[in-house]
């Protein structure tokens, strides 16, 4: 494997610096829009202990409840990912985090540019519904309709999988790294769907909570509406407690929000909310617009569901729909020299097939397809630790997919 920038070791020298500089000039000069994608290739692989420094750097720019720049918390996240993928920690207490390594055009070691994680969904959500009433009095007959949010808990034996923690270093934004991470995340699920169902249970849906706007690190929806329902507990405390559970539900959410004895299920009338909260409910903030677009490319759709605490918009999908949406082909991987790939070779997202969860990896790199063979540059081939005749799954770009479909019909 290539050495990482954060590792204390001698930097790898670029074996072909002159050729790479010339290729860069040819690729970048004609189209200014490509200036933002100045990297050789990307690799997504499970987070590892040496990644702590890079993960802390990313967390410092995010600083959300799920990703604070706290060394102990980030060490725990890394350990959870390692043990979950190894099978020694159940998914109900674990997670999987992928790190994106960016290999620069100039050669040298890779740099941790972003991360994304997969975890089991926690507890439940707010579900927006409509209620109608008929007022039928002498001289007055009219309908009145109003919207309300009601707490909807997960079924005890049905789980959800959440896309979470999709973050990219500010210095690397604009390079479509978030799109690559979302595609790698999807490939991980599709390649391991049988094992996930076996280890987790029935997976009813996939979802992502697209964060809404906060005010100085606090969420107005939580502070004004939800916090009183939890006896005044602060956001971080409730967020930490809702992860403590033993099945698809959350004990603290059920205790305070679900029906219990004479206590009715929590319900919030939308027309009684302050105007600003009502208008901003589920509003996707500008920083998260790119994440929303990447989800929509994977077949995720906006729903009438919102995060219990911050009121963030839910986008949902199913594994079956994801499987149908993502166009992909299987090839036999071959190693090629850089000069053997044409200048217009497509940049594809690929992942070795048939590996265990802990050995999952994916790359976005220039490829050449010839029949059932896919040729990768030797640097990419080595970074993925490919073996002779190993099969890979490639996500087809829209142009390539149309071309291959036309060839198949012909």
Residue 359: is its pLDDT beyond 60? Answer: yes
User: Roughly how many angstroms between the first and final C-alpha of the chain, as a whole number?
Assistant: 41
Could you tell me which residues come within 8 angstroms of residue 308 by beta carbon, excluding any fewer than 6 positions away?
A: 123, 124, 125, 126, 151, 226, 242, 253, 257
Q: What number is the average pLDDT over the span 339-354?
A: 92
Question: What is the pairing mode between strands 140-153 and 267-269?
Answer: antiparallel
pLDDT of 66 reads: 64
Instruction: Please indicate, yes or no, whether residues 233 and 186 belong to a single structural domain of this protein.
Output: yes
Q: 252 and 315 share a domain?
A: yes
What is the tens place of the pLDDT at every residue in 96-121?
A: 999 999 999 888 889 999 999 999 98
State the pLDDT at residue 286.
75
Residue owning tokens 């210095």 = 171
pLDDT of residue 267: 94
Mean pLDDT of 177-194: 96
Q: Mean pLDDT for the chain?
A: 84
Residue matched to tokens 């302050």: 274
Q: Sorting pLDDT into bands at 50, 70 and 90, what band is 288?
A: confident
Q: If residue 302 lies in a helix (H) or strand (E), which one and from where to where?
A: strand 301-306
Q: Is residue 162, in this structure, part of any structural domain at all? A: yes
Tens of pLDDT, residue by residue over 78-94, are: 999 999 999 999 998 89
- Give the mean pLDDT of 344-362: 94
What would the pLDDT profile of 234-268 be if each residue is shown by its tens digit? Answer: 998 998 888 776 678 888 999 999 998 888 999 99
Q: What residue spans of 258-364 are helical by DSSP H? A: 275-280, 289-297, 319-325
pLDDT of 222-242, one tens digit each? 999 999 999 999 998 998 888
Tell me, what's the pLDDT at 273? 92
Q: Are residues 315 and 252 in the same domain?
A: yes
What tens digit of pLDDT does each residue of 205-224 get? 999 998 776 667 688 999 99
Identify the band that residue 409 occupies on the pLDDT scale cut at 50, 70 and 90. low
Answer yes or no: are the C-beta atoms of 235 and 65 closer than 8 Å: yes
- Indicate if 274 and 400 belong to the same structural domain: no
Task: Determine the structural domain holding residue 222 and report its residue range.
Answer: 115-134+146-326
263 and 409 assigned to the same domain: no
Within a domain: residue 74? no
pLDDT exceeds cutoff 50 at 361: yes
Q: What is the chain's alpha carbon radius of gyration, rounded to the nearest angstrom?
A: 24
Q: Which H or E run includes 239? A: helix 235-241
Residue after which a domain boundary falls, among 271, 297, 326: 326
- Reported as a pLDDT band with limits 50, 70 and 90, residue 406 is low
> Cα(181)–Cα(74) distance, rounded to whole angstroms?
19
């Amino acid at each position: 494997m290539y050495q990482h920038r954060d590792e204390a070791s001698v930097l790898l020298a670029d074996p072909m610096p002159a050729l790479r500089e010339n290729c860069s000039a040819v690729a970048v000069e004609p189209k200014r829009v490509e200036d933002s994608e100045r990297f050789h290739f990307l690799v997504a692989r499970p987070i590892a202990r040496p990644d702590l420094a890079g993960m802390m750097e990313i967390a410092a720019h995010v600083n959300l409840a799920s990703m604070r720049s706290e060394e102990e918390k980030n060490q725990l996240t890394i350990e959870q990912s390692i043990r979950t993928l190894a099978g020694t920690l159940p998914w109900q207490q674990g997670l999987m985090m992928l790190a994106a390594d960016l290999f620069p055009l100039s050669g040298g070691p890779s740099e941790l540019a972003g991360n994304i994680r997969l975890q089991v969904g926690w507890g439940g959500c707010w579900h927006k519904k409509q209620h109608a009433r008929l007022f039928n009095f002498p001289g007055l007959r009219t309908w009145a309709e109003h919207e309300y949010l009601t707490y909807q808990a997960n079924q005890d034996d049905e789980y959800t999988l959440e896309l979470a923690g999709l973050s990219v270093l500010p210095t690397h934004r604009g390079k479509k790294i978030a799109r690559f991470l979302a595609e790698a995340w999807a490939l991980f699920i599709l390649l391991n769907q049988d094992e996930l169902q076996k280890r987790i249970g029935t997976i009813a849906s996939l979802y992502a909570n697209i964060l809404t706007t906060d005010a100085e690190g606090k969420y107005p929806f939580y502070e004004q509406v939800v916090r009183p329902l939890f006896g005044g507990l602060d956001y971080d405390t409730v967020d930490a407690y809702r992860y403590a559970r033993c099945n698809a539900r959350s004990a603290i959410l059920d205790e305070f929000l679900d029906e219990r004895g004479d206590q009715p299920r929590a319900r919030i009338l939308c027309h009684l909310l302050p105007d600003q909260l009502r208008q901003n409910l589920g509003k996707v903030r500008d920083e998260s617009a790119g994440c929303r677009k990447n989800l929509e490319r994977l077949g995720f759709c906006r729903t009438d569901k919102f995060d219990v605490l911050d009121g963030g918009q839910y986008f949902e999908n199913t594994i079956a729909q994801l499987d149908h949406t993502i166009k992909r082909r299987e090839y036999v991987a071959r190693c090629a020299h850089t000069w053997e790939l044409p200048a217009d070779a497509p940049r594809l997202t690929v992942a070795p097939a048939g590996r265990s969860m802990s050995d999952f990896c994916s790359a976005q790199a220039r490829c050449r397809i010839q029949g059932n063979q896919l040729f990768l540059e030797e640097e990419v081939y080595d970074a993925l630790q490919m073996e002779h005749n190993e099969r890979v799954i490639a996500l087809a770009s829209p142009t390539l997919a149309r071309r291959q479909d036309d060839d198949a019909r012909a």
